[in-house]
A and B are shown apart, each in its own frame.
Chain A
């Protein structure tokens, strides 16, 4: 077998094995990351029962801004929505 052909065959073997190894690691590490994140950083969702029934409204907020927020919530939720808390993110 001539040298270029044997080089090409080696590259075929090494190349395919490397691609499979890297993508196996992608799958493996992806699964590990998902498990760790699920365990330690699960998305915090608001539990409806834990939300205070009494509105907690930041009194520092400018009254005109407050009125705008209340109006926007009222329009979007067609009067059904209620503001429980206003926070700066």
Chain B
């Protein structure tokens, strides 16, 4: 009998049955795994995050991330001490996440996989990527009114940028305690873009506006400047843009600088193909695995199961919806004064979530006019939205960090 008791004590069952919050967290992890695997909601990140939640919540596994406080002083220990006293997940978290290393590395990979061509061909559409950042700042104010500190409110608002690495990077600096729920909210809503964009579009855009055919508008009012050598433009553009952004908003350089570097090695071509391959495959994949697992491991019942998480989930949705509406209303305002009309769906894609938002906008347009292929146009504001949200993150960090 004594042996059986010892065997039972060796397992995690005893501890598990004593803490219903942990059981709930395990159920949340299973739910997230289901969404990632079966429903294919951002599986590349949701699966590692969900598995990180699972690992962190097994009692005795020693894989949960321990928040730094004055008692444990974990942030000031060496990595070897952290690994020895708090487990390898804490070592990874404090080395890779707390230092802010992984989001810029992922941005480098994103840059290597981004084609600025559609944006360069339709440069004026890039303005709508700015309007679609309004959700970030509106939710910042709403969250402050609800009692969040400005730092927490900023980290919550950045969910409206619809850019996972940007949201995580901002949360690490402004509100590391809220990192887990913010990452989950950001990636969940990005996965729900095919639901959220049509919802906001139905509420704000008329049938007549949805039928605005971008190619017909282009034929009626052709672009004055044609690009004669796109390859050279694509190589020069990231260099010039990185220089400009570094001078004006230095705090956004870790994200935008790495994004533009990744893009540059892609555009140079054969001479830097190995760098491009490393940035877009090996480094990107390794960074994604460690980011997902460690962010997931921050979500224990103590840090996740509270009213703040609910507020983040609600606020995140609001930020998303306002950002989409912001882009749409910017296009509507533009159309009041311009001869060459723009389909408001272009504005809806200004919130990032590349390329899902553009695909969704294209599908909506095709439903109303089967010849209205606006993917290339939508990609312009979509890509500028990535730049816009990184700049917005830089402003939040500069003012609130």
Contacts and interface: CB of A to CB of B under 8 A. Distances in A.
B124 interface: yes
A8 B227 contact: no
Given A4-B149, A5-B145, A34-B120, A23 B127 contact: yes
Contact of B399 (A10, A23, A26): A10
B236 interface: yes
Contacts, number: 125
The B contact surface, by secondary structure, is helix
A26 B395 contact: no
A38 B225 contact: yes
Interface in B228-249: 228-229, 231-233, 236-237, 240-241, 244-245, 248-249
Interface residues of A, number: 32
B392 A15 contact: yes
A11 B245 CA distance: 18
B245 to A, nearest CB: 6
A12 B388 CA distance: 14
Interface residues of B, number: 47
Contact of B249 (A8, A10, A18): A18
By Cβ-Cβ distance, the 9 closest A-B pairs, closest first, are A12-B137, A42-B228, A43-B229, A15-B395, A23-B130, A8-B144, A19-B130, A38-B228, A8-B141
21 contacts: A4-B150, A5-B145, A8-B144, A8-B153, A10-B399, A14-B399, A15-B392, A18-B391, A19-B388, A26-B126, A29-B240, A29-B244, A30-B237, A33-B237, A35-B225, A37-B227, A37-B236, A38-B225, A38-B227, A42-B228, A43-B231
Interface of B: 119-120, 123-124, 126-127, 129-130, 133-134, 136-138, 140-141, 144-145, 149-150, 153-154, 225-229, 231-233, 236-237, 240-241, 244-245, 248-249, 384, 387-388, 391-392, 394-396, 399-400
